[in-house]
Chain A
Amino acid sequence: MKDFTILVGGQAGQGSRKAGLVIAKILNSLGYRIFIYDDYQSLIRGGHSFSKIRVSDKKVEGQSEELDYIIALDKETIDKHLDSLKDSGTVLFNADRIEFKKGLGIKSETIAKEEGGSSIMANTVMISAFAKTIGVDFELLKNVFQKEFKKGLDINLKIAERVYVEVIEKTKIEKLENKILPLITGNEALALGSVEAGLDMYYAYPMTPATSILHFLAGRKLGVETIQLENEIAVIIAALGSAYAGKRTMIGTSGGGFALMTEGLSFGVMAEIPVVIVNSQRTGPATGVPTYSGQSDLNFVLNAGHGDLVKFTVAPSNADECYEWGGRILNLAWKYQTPAVVLIDKEISESTFNLDINSKIEQENNSLWNQEGEYRRYEITENGISPLAFPGNGVVVKTTSYEHDQNGLTAEESEEEITAMQEKRLRKFEAMQEEVDNMEDAIKIFGNKDSKNVLITFGSSTGPAIEAAEKFDLKVVQIVVLEPFPVIQVTEAVGDASLIVCVEQNALGQLASLLAKNGIEAEELILKYSSRVIQKGEIEDLLKEIL
């Protein structure tokens, strides 16, 4: 298996992310599979940013710890990452800023300026030098530049051409026969999936790492209205208002913003108004480590909202699942007229994956009123789902945060009425549970399906867990739908297990608690809570001790 990793680093503002993306696009168009992890701090200029581009002949969904190439725009990149470079690895560095004894030093800022560019175009110098080193044809490089440099294409090409001529080719990279797949972040894939399911409006208040959903939808012409409001409370309440008026809405935030939304979430359950809430986690509690990842909101998300309530919560683990669930969750929210949460994290939101779509997402019908008889917004029905109509449809539609009668008027006096409405919602929660019970892919199983040793995981821990399990021939169970809990599928998947190990990125073992609540005891926990994503090697080391 071909599997190598390139790290491109520099100060914020030096364009290391762009350089990483262009290099990834070059390799992508040669048929390689790509995973890009972007690392940056909570600042705008200076600091240290880097992209790690993992390149493989088969699909990869996680980082690799060891580096094959370091492309350094500043000295800190070498200081910080040299330890991770393999013995066989190569360093390409910006000789205008760095003195280093090994590898290939290029006065990249000087060259960029000599060709009429600015010092930020040092990143173009490094892209071209790397491309030549690994034997990429110039025509291919040119094609990618034409797509990626909308501004200043000529000058960037001029710089690239000079460097390409001057640098010596060390190896000739092979072109693979794989189908070329789009490169997309988890946030972008989630947005596109929801668009396929008929998303009309997206409300948000900026919060890393969810912000790029807002940026992406605002920058595109997909017919989705994007609206930034004054805080997350306004965001969820306005979204509920828009959904009441018939528009499919989604909102996005991280843990702190989600906390502000929880009263609105409870309202959505009471008033039976659909809204999809994306919580892209970072490390908590509180502001935590805002530009890094974690899975410590699991307990909070599952228990969010006061009162007796059940909602949908799903945890996709990569761009494919973000695309799929971005659509499916919107359809489910409208089918059951309920809030629903997509729980992801920084690693999924902002990393770049190859998108390989297997299923077609389409907008499914709402449970609309059939226009017969008298309309009652909260009509008592067998499955608890009442007919949906919107203001302007010719009938009076009354919705409310109070407990209510079938017409949506406040119910305080009649104990019978209050009980009946609560039980209507309970029947709906049961129908939601049944929906999950019948969902074959509410969990996914990887690795050796006959192994008695099982890793259970979710979200961004899944990719590294699958890779680590290969070495020990273990079974991996990924829980995709977290609420209502797919207890039948999980119980069956671990039925004859002799050892269950939870792999998750929080300090309390929150997934293990969820499993225990559903009668499944994990013997061992592999936890990581340093804000940096768990690595395959770290899981392997701990598995050695456990097994």
Chain B
Amino acid sequence: MNKLDTNYKNTWCPGCGNFGILVAFKNAIKDEDPNNIAIVSGIGCHAKIVDYINVNSFYSLHGRALPAAEGIKLANPDLKVIAFTGDGDSLDEGISHLIHAAKRNSDITVVLHNNRLFALTTGQFTAVSVEGFKGKSTPTGAPESPINPLELLLASNATFISRSYSGNIKHLEETLKRAIAHKGFSIVEVLEPCVSFFNTTEFYNNKTYVLDDANLDSREEALKKIREWNYEENGEKVPLGVFYEVSKLPFYERVLTNKKEETVEDILKELI
């Protein structure tokens, strides 16, 4: 048994994209000291990953993976904190936390399992579902069009923006390593099929391609790459890779500034 395995019974559907993420992540951290890693999840199919990996973990509430990850990092900046989240988790329920974590440049890595629907609740549309998605809550088709989460993150001043695919484990592993090494907020959006409710395996196998690193510090270039595919059902090309990377002081270095220079006794004397 791999030392990173818990041996907990895996309950993902056969063929689920999450298996690719699990393998790639374990590979990505195999040279790290597991004692210095804390992983966090929200609630959803993605979140089961914390039960399968034998490292420190915080299985949070639905939509609330990111504030937990930020709180852990602020309490102990020596830890590498990775938050797993889903599209329902962080683009619907907890989208405000995603925007603010990026804006603050919290030094956490966000792995966004994007299967583009609520799966664990048996298939309803999320913020990134295709327009007209037919689920049990929208039998005649979802009446909304999807947002582009990476465009949102660029606008929110994220300092590392990337996309990978659960079917390209090597690329995913390398991207995760780079994201974890990035000092500040990093996002790896992982496109993944939901084999039970929205099977996009063939689409992603055919349409995804890896972009080489270029002009990583240019917002304009990043926006072009991000907009090449807008989450429509019949996109021509879906780019993978690191789209944007800039260096900026992480949140913990800016906010953890309170030194103990006075005592309660001093203050009480002053208040006389």
Selected contact of A391 from candidates B56, B70, B271, B272, CB within 8 Å:
B56
**Interface: A244 (CB within 8 A):** yes
Chain A's nearest CB lies how many Å from the CB of B80? 10
A5-13, A229-237, A518-526: which lies at the B interface? Answer: A229-237
Selected contact of A238 from candidates B68, B259, B260, B263, CB within 8 Å:
B68
Number of A residues near B (Cβ < 8 Å) is 61
A399/B262 in contact, CB under 8 A: no
A401/B71 in contact, CB under 8 A: no
A392/B259 in contact, CB under 8 A: no
CA distance A184 to B78 in the complex (A): 37
**Interface: A351 (CB within 8 A):** no
A245/B267 in contact, CB under 8 A: no
Selected contact of B70 from candidates A238, A402, A408, CB within 8 Å:
A238
B97/A230 in contact, CB under 8 A: yes
CB nearest to B258 among chain A residues:
A225
Chain B's nearest CB lies how many Å from the CB of A527? 35
CA distance A416 to B76 in the complex (A): 36
**Interface: B264 (CB within 8 A):** yes
Residues in B neighbouring A183, C-beta threshold 8 A: 271-272
CB contacts between A and B, total, < 8 Å: 167
What are 15 A-B contacts with C-beta separation under 8 Å?
A218-B258, A220-B262, A221-B260, A222-B262, A233-B64, A234-B96, A245-B38, A247-B75, A264-B64, A392-B35, A392-B76, A392-B78, A400-B59, A409-B6, A410-B51
Known: A223-B258, A234-B96, A397-B57. 6 other contacts (CB 8 A): A195-B264, A227-B74, A241-B68, A243-B75, A399-B59, A401-B59
CB nearest to A183 among chain B residues:
B271
B54/A396 in contact, CB under 8 A: yes
Per-position binary interface string of chain A over residues 200-215, scored 1 when its CB falls under 8 Å from any chain B CB and 0 otherwise? 1101000000000000
Selected contact of B71 from candidates A241, A390, A397, CB within 8 Å:
A241
Selected contact of B67 from candidates A224, A241, A263, CB within 8 Å:
A241
Q: Which of B242-272 contact A (CB under 8 A)?
A: 255-264, 267-272
Residues in B neighbouring A229, C-beta threshold 8 A: 67, 100
**Interface: B50 (CB within 8 A):** yes
**Interface: B218 (CB within 8 A):** no
Chain B's nearest CB lies how many Å from the CB of A214? 12
- Chain B residues within CB distance 8 Å of chain A: 6, 8, 34-38, 40, 43, 48, 50-51, 54-61, 64, 67-72, 74-76, 78-79, 96-97, 99-100, 255-264, 267-272
Q: Tell me which of A181, A223, A231, A401 has the highest count of chain B C-beta atoms within 10 A of its own C-beta.
A: A401
A224/B55 in contact, CB under 8 A: no
B255/A227 in contact, CB under 8 A: yes
Residues in B neighbouring A222, C-beta threshold 8 A: 258, 260, 262-264, 267
CB nearest to A355 among chain B residues:
B268
With A181-B272, A225-B256, A229-B67: A237-B61 Cβ-Cβ less than 8 Å: yes
A394/B35 in contact, CB under 8 A: yes
With A223-B259, A396-B56: A240-B71 Cβ-Cβ less than 8 Å: yes
CA distance A233 to B269 in the complex (A): 37
CB nearest to A412 among chain B residues:
B11
CA distance A70 to B35 in the complex (A): 65
CB nearest to A226 among chain B residues:
B258
CB nearest to A224 among chain B residues:
B258
With A230-B97, A240-B68: A267-B74 Cβ-Cβ less than 8 Å: no
Q: Tell me which of B6, B256, B263, B264 has the highest count of chain A C-beta atoms within 10 A of its own C-beta.
A: B264
With A201-B74, A221-B258, A230-B96: A238-B59 Cβ-Cβ less than 8 Å: no
**Interface: A29 (CB within 8 A):** yes
Residues in A neighbouring B51, C-beta threshold 8 A: 409-410
Q: Which of A252-271 contact B (CB under 8 A)?
A: 263-264, 267
Residues in B neighbouring A242, C-beta threshold 8 A: 71-72, 74-75
Residues in B neighbouring A401, C-beta threshold 8 A: 43, 59-61
**Interface: A180 (CB within 8 A):** yes
CA distance A3 to B268 in the complex (A): 25
Residues in B neighbouring A267, C-beta threshold 8 A: 60-61
Selected contact of A402 from candidates B54, B59, B74, B267, CB within 8 Å:
B59
